[in-house]
Amino acid sequence: MKNLKMKSARAEKDLSQQQLADICGVSRQTINAIEKGDYNPTVALCIKICLALDRTLDDLFWTAG
């Protein structure tokens, strides 16, 4: 499932995939894969992304269903 919430939050912060990747210490391809739904990040990486985007885990990674 695509992570449009993460992509939207990244855009709101005016960050490129590369910039977010640099902040989180991963490759741009990793950020791209998460946004496309092709990769499930570790909890540690999820937390880094949340801190970088000023969002909670629930905001970015919780899907009700």
CATH of the domain spanning 4-60: 1.10.260.40
Contacts of 58 (CB under 8 A, 6+ apart): none
Reported as a pLDDT band with limits 50, 70 and 90, residue 65 is low
Domain locations in the chain as residue ranges? 4-60
Q: How confident is the model at residue 4 (pLDDT cuts 50, 70, 90)?
A: very high
What's the rounded Cα separation, in Å, for the pair 63 and 27? 25
Render 10-55 in DSSP notation, one character per residue: HHHTT--HHHHHHHHTS-HHHHHHHHHTS----HHHHHHHHHHHT-
pLDDT digits (tens, 9 = 90+) for 7-60: 999 999 999 999 999 999 999 999 999 999 999 999 999 999 999 999 999 999
